[in-house]
């Protein structure tokens, strides 16, 4: 396949979901797109090392170096333009993007969230907090969702979901690991392939 969607992955931390994407690309699960750039808002994010090991270009945009949210987003946009990016994947990116940004890339930004939306999502629900809330509520099934990103946190159209059963002895940490392994790392690459394919067809 000659034409591929150019992908940028936005990260803030360890980059386990980025690694899942890199692995999926190597295995040919993602064949309609290619990761061209990894952007982080944290200069010490381990995700940047993962990108370098995979020979993927990286960029760091720090909020503290920017005069405003708009300035921060403009710096990210200029990097995306530089690489002619078609698709943006938020993989543990700990910064809410404004409507100005999301509307500019309508149906071109996807995010993975560690619950079955509409449960345990929206403002304030991220990382371990999602799993803590699920256990507190006593739900028996949780999972992960990949969705398009719009101006409402976790409010965009759902692309893929996968359910994961909760065990009686689960802690937020064990649940987080299982949801990543059984759901996030499976549906994120599948969704990236699906959206990439649509973008280039």
Query: Residue 43: pLDDT above 90?
Result: yes
pLDDT of residue 193: 98
pTM for the structure as a whole: 0.95
Which of 6, 113, 147, 186 is catalytic? The answer is 113
Query: Residue 135: pLDDT above 70?
Result: yes
Residue range 26-37: average pLDDT? 97
> Per 3-state DSSP, what percentage of the chain is helix, strand, and coil (rounded to 5)?
40, 20, 35
pLDDT of residue 96: 87
* Band of pLDDT at residue 91, cut at 50, 70 and 90: very high
Query: Residue 2: pLDDT above 90?
Result: no
Q: What domains lie within the chain, and their CATH numbers?
A: 5-200 (3.40.50.170)
| Catalytic residue check, 147 | no
pLDDT of residue 86: 97
Percent of the chain topping pLDDT 90: 93
> Token pair for residue 125?
């629900």
- Residue 43: how many CA atoms within 13 Å on its side-chain side? 5
Burial of 69 (0-12, 13-18, 19+ CB in 10 A): middle
pLDDT of residue 145: 97
């Amino acid at each position: 396949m000659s034409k591929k969607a150019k992908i940028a992955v936005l990260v803030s931390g360890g980059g386990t979901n980025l690694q899942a994407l890199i692995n999926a690309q190597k295995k040919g699960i993602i064949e309609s797109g290619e990761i061209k750039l990894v952007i982080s808002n944290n200069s010490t994010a381990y995700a940047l090392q993962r990108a370098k090991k995979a020979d993927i270009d990286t960029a760091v945009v720090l909020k503290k170096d920017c005069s405003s949210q708009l300035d921060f987003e403009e710096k990210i946009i200029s990097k995306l333009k530089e690489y002619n990016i078609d698709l943006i994947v938020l993989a543990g990116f700990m910064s809410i993007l404004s409507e100005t940004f999301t509307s500019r890339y309508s149906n071109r930004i996807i995010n993975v969230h560690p619950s079955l939306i509409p449960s345990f999502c929206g403002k304030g629900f991220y990382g371990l907090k999602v799993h803590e809330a699920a256990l507190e509520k006593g739900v028996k099934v949780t999972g992960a969702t990949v969705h398009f990103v719009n101006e409402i946190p976790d409010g965009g159209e759902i692309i893929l979901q996968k359910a994961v059963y909760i065990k009686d002895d689960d802690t937020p940490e064990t649940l987080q690991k299982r949801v990543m392994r059984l759901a996030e790392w499976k549906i994120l690459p599948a969704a990236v392939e699906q959206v990439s394919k649509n973008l280039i067809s």
